[in-house]
Chains A and B, each alone.
Chain A
Amino acid sequence: DIQMTQSPSSLSASIGDRVTITCRASQGISNSLAWYQQKPGKAPKLLLYAASRLDSGVPSRFSGSGSGTDYTLIISSLQPEDFATYYCQQYYNTPWAFGQGTRVEIK
């Protein structure tokens, strides 16, 4: 099974900051990677898929990159509504797997 490891597990940032979250797969996943945002008490929301493609309606301040085993989610200018937990997820093969999450908190 493929394991997904995110870092950091949490971070504190200010409005306007650039935020970077990384995700490493235990084997190559050929860009079969999605990113989700989850706010407390809510279901996760799809942000990006295929490592770098924004889902419909997602602001352009979110971007993704990477290849092979290493992937990155960047929020270019953090907004108040971006404080949440972010998860990566591989869909290269089953069982699908999520990273453990990165909590983005207000500094």
Chain B
Amino acid sequence: QVQLVQSGAEVKKPGASVKVSCKASGYTFTTYYLHWVRQAPGQGLEWMGMINPTGGNTTYAQNFQGRVTMTRDTSTNTVYMEVNSLRSEDTAVYYCARGIITLDYWGQGTLVTVSS
């Protein structure tokens, strides 16, 4: 069965970086884009961007351009999402999700807390 398993919760100080992983299984890794969506406490869903596992091509939302980097490792079927220069407003649950036109499978979410 399709599974996306994310890394565990993180606590970071303002200005630091965080790297969240998402390991895919149960399907051919290179046939679906992987997306990242975040949700601040009590707020809605925000699409951050996506990566094509085949060539590593990425598309980022304007809000995250220059501060977020998405990468993949085809040897381990894992995608990574790194956020630099963290600020308190980046406190959120970060989800990876599989999809070409919609997001049909989601990871369990990773809580990133930014606090001094």
How distant is B21 from chain A, measured CB to nearest CB, in Å?
A: 16
Distance between Cα atoms of A34 and B47 in the complex (Å): 14
- A91 CB within 8 Å of chain B: yes
In Å, the complex CA distance between A49 and B95 comes to 20
Asked whether, in the complex, the Cβ of B44 is within 8 Å of the Cβ of A91, the reply is no
Number of A-B residue pairs, CB cutoff 8 Å, is: 57
Interface residue count on the B side (C-beta < 8 Å) = 21
Residue in contact with A95 in the complex, picked from B47, B101, B102, B103, CB distance below 8 Å: B47
Within the complex, which residue of B61, B62, B95 is in contact with A43, where a contact is CB–CB below 8 Å?
A: B95
Are A43 and B45 in contact (CB-based, < 8 A)? Answer: no
Complex interface residues of chain B between 17 and 51 (CB less than 8 A to chain A): 35, 37, 44-47, 49-50
Task: Report whether B102 and A91 are in contact in the complex, using a CB–CB cutoff of 8 Å.
Answer: yes
Name A33-51 residues within 8 Å CB distance of B.
34, 36, 38, 43-46, 49-50
Specify which chain B residues have a CB less than 8 angstroms from the CB of A98 in the assembled complex.
37, 44-47
Residues of chain B at the chain A interface (Cβ within 8 Å): 35, 37, 44-47, 49-50, 59, 61-62, 95, 97, 101-104, 106-109
Which A-B residue pairs are the 6 nearest by beta carbons?
A: A43-B106, A95-B61, A98-B45, A96-B47, A49-B102, A34-B102
